[in-house]
Each structure stands twice: as C-alpha cells, then as structure tokens.
Amino acid sequence: MSACDPRFIELVKRLGAGESVHTRDVDHLLDTMPRSDRLDHLLLFQHSFPPNLLVLLLAEWWTTSEIPVLLGQTHVVNAFGRVGFVTDTEGVVAPTEPLTVYRGVSWEPTRKAPPSARGVSWTLDEDRAEWFARRWSILRHRGLVFVADAPPASVLGTFHGRNEAEVMVNPRQRRKVRLLLDLRSTN
C-alpha cells in the first residue's frame, strides 16, 4: 500500500469528530485513490467508519481489489464482523443453512509446505475454484482445490459482481476442510 492519502486522513478525522459523512463523498475520495489501496485504507481505518457506512463501502469496494487480503485476514474478519453480513447483490440475505464452499489456491513446489486452506475468500462454484487453482500453472505452480462446510454463522458475506460466486468465510468457523483436487502442473 502506498502512503496514506492526506484526504483520507482528513475524512477519518471528520468521522472521529462525529461529523456526518455521505457515502458519495467517501466514494469520490476512493475513486481518486489507486485501486489497489482503496480496500486497504478502509480496513486499516475501519473503526473510524460507522457500521452503516462501512457495510456499504465493503460491499462496493471488496470486488474492486484483485488480492483483497494483503493486510491479513484479521483486518478482513474484523471489518466484516463489525457490520454483519455483507453482499453486493440486492435481495441476497445471510444463509440460514450450511454452505458447501470451494477454494482454489496455487502452490509453488519449492516451498516446503503446501498452502493453507485458511483463506477467507471461497466460492460456491467448484469450477471457479479450479480456475483459481490453475491460474498460476504457467509458472509451474501446483493447483489445489479445497472444499469445506461453512455454517451460517461463519459466512461474512457473498459477492456476485465478478461472477465468482464469492463467499467470505471466517476461517476459524469452517468445518470439514478437505482437499478435493490436486492439479499437478502439466507444463
């Protein structure tokens, strides 16, 4: 993340002083920031935003980040946990039944340990998880697809805006995580 934008610091100060800030003002500010920094700024200063504003911003800006967990899972889980269920799709509500979720990851074989399936970003679509697992195979990385059960309380949000059927899952609350597919590089 680049240095914190002074306009963002000013916005946080205004919020801290109890000033009312419109979502469009925050959106305008974030639109002027590098795309890769937007979510990081929100996560770092999440406690400055009232929950009703934070939920709107998370819903909008989560899907604009290519790798949204660079700051670490704790920031993500805390932000989503503060506001409850988050979605970018009108009419979608938090699940009431467990979900079967999939996660595709790549593993560079020179690393001693395979990647963990502890990530927060999963999908409802097994084919999409396999796509994520294969996406780095050109670099001779090995793709792995995990499957897990996500109890309703573990689901922090769902996002359909990028056609990924993404499900945010609290890693501490998933159940029965298992390796579904091991894709050895064919290159």
pLDDT of 94 reads 95
What predicted TM-score, i.e. pTM, was given to this entire model?
Answer: 0.80
DSSP annotation string for 77-93: HHHHHHH--EESSTT--
Residue 48 per-residue DSSP state: G
| Helix, coil or strand: residue 40 | helix
pLDDT of 25 reads 76
Same domain, yes or no, for 36 and 59?
Answer: yes
Same domain, yes or no, for 76 and 121?
Answer: no
Whether 89 is in a domain gets the answer no
Same domain, yes or no, for 61 and 34?
Answer: yes
Whether 10 is in a domain gets the answer yes
Q: Which has more pLDDT, 152 or 43?
A: 152
pLDDT of 170 reads 92
Same domain, yes or no, for 103 and 46?
Answer: no
Same domain, yes or no, for 75 and 133?
Answer: no
The amino acid that residue 114 corresponds to is: P
**Mean local confidence (pLDDT), 115-133:** 88
Measured CA to CA, the distance from residue 80 to residue 156 in angstroms comes to 6
Measured CA to CA, the distance from residue 112 to residue 90 in angstroms comes to 43
Last residue of a domain, one of 57, 84, 111: 84
Same domain, yes or no, for 32 and 74?
Answer: yes
Full domain range(s) for residue 173: 99-183
pLDDT of 96 reads 97
Whether 90 is in a domain gets the answer no
pLDDT of 124 reads 97
pLDDT of 4 reads 66
**Mean local confidence (pLDDT), 101-110:** 84
Q: Rounded to whole angstroms, what are the CA distances from 133 to 13, 45, 51, 102, 152? A: 42, 32, 34, 11, 25
Tally of structural domains, the chain: 2
Last residue of a domain, one of 84, 119, 153: 84
Q: Which of 6-15, 35-44, 102-111, 156-165 has the highest mean pLDDT?
A: 156-165
Question: Which segments within the chain are labelled E, that is strand?
Answer: 86-87, 99-107, 121-123, 142-150, 155-159, 166-169, 175-183
pLDDT of 53 reads 81
Beta carbons of 127 and 118 less than 8 angstroms apart = no
Last residue of a domain, one of 31, 58, 84: 84
Same domain, yes or no, for 74 and 125?
Answer: no
- The pLDDT tens digits of the residues spanning 126-182 come to 999 999 888 866 666 788 899 999 999 999 999 988 888 999 999 888 889 999 998
pLDDT of 187 reads 47
Measured CA to CA, the distance from residue 148 to residue 138 in angstroms comes to 27
- The pLDDT tens digits of the residues spanning 62-90 come to 777 666 666 677 878 888 888 889 998 88
- The pLDDT tens digits of the residues spanning 51-64 come to 888 888 888 777 77
